[in-house]
Structure 1
Amino acid sequence: MKRVLITAGAGGIGRAMAEAFEVAGYEVWVTDVDADALSGCPAGWQCHQASAADEDQMAAVFAQIDRLDVLCANAGVAGPTALVEDIELADWRSCVSVNLEGAFLAAKYAAPLMKEAGRGAITLTSSTAGLFGYPNRAPYAAAKWAVIGLMKTLAMELGPFGVRANAICPGAVEGPRMEGVLAREADAKGMTRDEVYRGYAAGTSMRSFVEASDIADMAVFLASDQARMVSGQVIAVDGHTENPDPRI
């Protein structure tokens, strides 16, 4: 049975990924900082409380893994919603740490296992914020752009060992995390939540948010043999974002 490790896998997009991989027949390992969310995971999953940006905690998780077929480095936080001049350095660093360093640490410890096996697939969760500039979201956008650079480098370094690396760029995903973003952005821009929501939806060709299951389906595909020659790619699952903020 193939094994997948998903960071931030106990809720949101990560939980959808874990459920999709389980259906696909994988042995599922997840890490998450949320103990309550982990306690609600299925009994058959290997669940570990760990911060993706804490090297000691991630090293302890990987010390228990003797092989790994798929890594989904999915951990991320929205970070502050404010103009650049109003962002505190501590908030910038916190956002970049989880979104970028979390992906780096997961890849750092997964790479030797996959190189030894001569196969593997790494998928990093970026964002459409890694494809466009996003007003009031500077640290998040900067980190998600950097995640793509990390992925491109992983693809080049690991390709000779039969290991592929790709990045998924979700658009606006229905769920609690996006609701928090909508509320903060509405407050920052003096708008209502619904106005911000409609603005995000209007910025896509499909005029709609996406579901976490849409992201999960892409992750399972990228891990599959059907994607055996797909590497170094940035794949948006976003209903085609035309403009991240059509109001400006």
Structure 2
Amino acid sequence: MNLDLNGSRVIVTAGAAGIGRAIVEGFLAEGAQVATCDIDEAALATLPEAVFARRVDVADAEALRGFVADAAAAMGGLDCLVNNAGIAGPTARVEDVALDQWNATLAICLTSHFVAAAAAVPLLRGSDNPSIVNLSSLAGRLGFALRSPYAAAKWGVIGLTKSLAIELGGDSIRVNAVLPGIVSGDRQRRVMEARAQARGASFAEIEAEAFSHSAIREYVTPQQIANQVLYLASPLGRTMSGQAISVCGGTDRLG
């Protein structure tokens, strides 16, 4: 299938590792120009030289706005913004979550999406295939016990997505969200380990419980998430907007 993304100009936040890295590599394989930021300088250094890369803490609104502007200038414009940045946040009962943990989780998982989108929209208006793809989570549709800051932020991403889809439809800018389920990788392992510790259970018990709520009992890969993002950013997804698309193997419960 030809996604017709050759020459597209794409910004991906937090693109040095994990899902973000798979998205960056997917766009590069389609011939797109790609810019990304991340807080991990060592991981950024392993990206192909063709990628416009900068160390940015997305919780720093000024730095994030500056990155979007500079990246678009370097690429000669902008066709797609992928808001991928996020953190797991604390694993704890609500009464044990510190306010600064709540604020930090929302700053990265939700506010950074708002800041980047606000900076990108004036640039996207100059594109003939403009789109924004926000990474939410299955926790943004189902909720997640012991992960209230993360789940609240990811629900917020869906609300932001649907609101921007309505607001920007007149500019032909489509806005969608992708909701990963249980994704393979170090981050998911750390989440399960933290949950196991909080509940006094083994990692194997937590893993088995997680998959017991899925129709397809296997990990989602970062590449599968990237495939969905690329489709939404391509001209093939031109009439898709305001959607929250789960890539989760039919999972109906978390925790």
TM-score using structure 2 length? 0.94
Distance in 2 (CA, whole Å) between partners of 1:199 and 1:93 is 29
1:189-204 counterparts in 2 under 5 A? 189-204=199-214
1:237 is matched with: 247
2:51 is matched with: 45
1:21-51 CA-to-partner distances (Å, cap 9, x unmatched) read 1111100111101101100111111101111
Cα distance, 1:203 vs structure 2: 1.3
Matched, 1:185 2:191: no
Matched, 1:9 2:19: no
One-letter identity of the residue aligned with 1:208: E
One-letter identity of the residue aligned with 1:228: R
Cα distance, 1:116 vs structure 2: 3.5
RMSD over aligned CA atoms reads: 1.0
One-letter identity of the residue aligned with 1:150: L
Where do 4+ consecutive residues of structure 1 move more than 4 Å?
none
Long gaps (5+) in structure 2: 1-6
2:147 is matched with: 137
1:97 is matched with: 107
Matched, 1:21 2:27: yes
Distance in 2 (CA, whole Å) between partners of 1:37 and 1:104 is 25
Report the number of matched residues.
245
2:4 is matched with: none
TM-score using structure 1 length? 0.96
1:112 aligned to 114, 122, 127, which one? Answer: 122
Distance in 2 (CA, whole Å) between partners of 1:147 and 1:46 is 26
Distance in 1 (CA, whole Å) between partners of 2:32 and 2:163 is 27
Assess if the C-alpha contact under 8 Å between 2:59 and 2:107 holds in 1: yes
Distance in 1 (CA, whole Å) between partners of 2:59 and 2:240 is 27
Long gaps (5+) in structure 1: none
Cα distance, 1:63 vs structure 2: 2.5
- Partner SS state of residue 245, structure 2: strand
Matched, 1:214 2:220: no
Cα distance, 1:154 vs structure 2: 0.9
One-letter identity of the residue aligned with 2:69: A
2:180 is matched with: 170
Cα distance, 1:242 vs structure 2: 1.6
